[in-house]
Structure 1
Amino acid sequence: MSQSETRSRAFFGRRRGKALRDAQAERLASQLPQLRLDPGSPLPEDGVAGLFDMPVDGTVLEIGFGGGEHLLHRINEAPRTGFIGVEPFVNSMTKFLGGIEPADEKRVRLYDDDAVHILDWLPDACLERIDLLYPDPWPKRKHWKRRFVSPDNLDRFARLLVPGGRFRFASDIDSYVNWTLAMVRAHAAFDWPARHPDAWNEPFAGWPGTRYEAKAFREGRRPAYLEFIRR
């Protein structure tokens, strides 16, 4: 599928919010080009490890990282791990760039367009984990086809995750949680190792919380946290 075909049914909505301040615009112009992946270019000969400026023990992908609270926490938590973050919303990308430590940029790469471009570009079995946290739920039935969890994208996840790799999903929208459970449990490549009936109410280990989660609690919604294992 071409990038133009993918963009016509992109899984995200608007690209910009409030106008950037001068310092934010400068940050975006100077930092992002140094860290941005180009899925139109050849992959390094040594695969995903060659994308980073230092040796890494494994690679994690976060799709739609928002303001970056979770991604920045995981970067700090795992100093030998490489991270790829995808976020098409300009204001969120700028906020993340303002929070990352210069020393960590060596093992972080970013992409500011449709995550499918990156999923189709990365090599087989190159990721330890994929995080999809509070994605746009596209609540209207006519828009459900734009939900990121789909059979096609689960096929992509299965190709990219190592055996035993994890796909983590969080949402406060019940219909999207149920949708995701049904989609993933129907896919032959994944197991859902829920330890007890309420396991999906427990945040992931080391969970820092996010502003989307805080909003859900304020508005009376209870988030769900789903973790699936690549067979």
Structure 2
Amino acid sequence: MSDAQNRQHRRLYGRAKGHALSARQQQLVDTMLPGVSWPDEGGVDPRSLLPGFDTHVLEIGFGAAEHLTGQAVRAPRTGFVGIEPFLNGVAKALAGIEEHGLSNVRVKRADARDEIERMPDASFDRIFLLFPDPWPKKRHAFRRFVQEDTAAQLARILKPGGRLRVATDVRIYADWALPLLLEAPGLDWQAEKADDWRIAPADHITTRYQSKHLGDIDPVFMDFERRAA
């Protein structure tokens, strides 16, 4: 099956939309989103989406976009690319972009698996995958974002020396994701002691979702670095 056929047959699990958007949110989706998004066909190169920026960062499944927009405010010389399938999250990202006057953020409502396959090698300096849906039941494990193929894709689009951070507060997801990421070609886990993954990194931004403590463990932060070829 070709990549295009594979994308066509994929199914995106989970909600695509929640409560009805407010009039203002719908206006942002209608008027702002086309200008900060990108086409469904062709390559997805952050250097073309956000030219002139020193570094480029990808956030997958940004939820309410607090982390995405917060990081963008902190680093105005960095270009941020966010991908989120949940319409309400995309609307919140647009509101954050407008509120802070951000010109260094591009977002798309899409399945990140499809978009990553369209990205060139060594595209990003950093990638964030924070508190993804854990799909805790064993029969749903295939729905989890971290799989052998997606772990390899994340490694592929990282620049040598680039960093990937995966965070979760669900034990079964941590136990599932860590071995797959350790086996991904080119990724080196940066933890040397327990506090390296138990304590939030200094640059982490805690979101309201994280603060709800919906998981069954304290958050773990798995940082990986892409080794040089």
TM-score w.r.t. structure 2 length?
0.91
Whether 1:226 and 2:213 are equivalent positions in the alignment is no
Residue identity over aligned pairs, in percent, reads 38
Whether 1:49 and 2:47 are equivalent positions in the alignment is yes
Match in the other structure for 1:82: 79
Q: Retained in 1: the 8 A contact 2:80–2:106?
A: yes
Q: Retained in 2: the 8 A contact 1:9–1:146?
A: no
The equivalences for 1:30-109 within 5 A come to 30-42=31-43, 47-52=45-50, 54-101=51-98, 104-109=101-106
CA distance in structure 1 between the aligned counterparts of 2:142 and 2:208, rounded to whole angstroms: 26
Structure 2 residue ranges without an equivalent (≥5):
none
Q: Retained in 2: the 8 A contact 1:11–1:148?
A: no
Structure 1 residue ranges without an equivalent (≥5):
none
CA distance in structure 2 between the aligned counterparts of 1:206 and 1:42, rounded to whole angstroms: 30
CA distance in structure 2 between the aligned counterparts of 1:106 and 1:211, rounded to whole angstroms: 24
Q: Secondary structure at the match of 2:39?
A: coil
Match in the other structure for 1:134: 131
User: Which one of 146, 151, 154 corresponds to residue 151 of structure 2?
Assistant: 154
Match in the other structure for 2:21: 20
TM-score w.r.t. structure 1 length?
0.90
Match in the other structure for 2:171: 174
Whether 1:216 and 2:204 are equivalent positions in the alignment is no
Tell me the C-alpha RMSD between the 2 structures. 2.0
Match in the other structure for 1:191: 188
CA distance in structure 2 between the aligned counterparts of 1:160 and 1:183, rounded to whole angstroms: 17
Q: Secondary structure at the match of 1:130?
A: strand
Kindly provide the CA deviation profile for residues 154-182 of structure 1, in whole angstroms up to 9, marking residues without a partner as x: 11112110111111011110010111111
Structure 1 residues 78 and 198, CA gap change in structure 2 (3 angstroms): same
CA distance in structure 2 between the aligned counterparts of 1:174 and 1:103, rounded to whole angstroms: 35
Match in the other structure for 1:120: 117
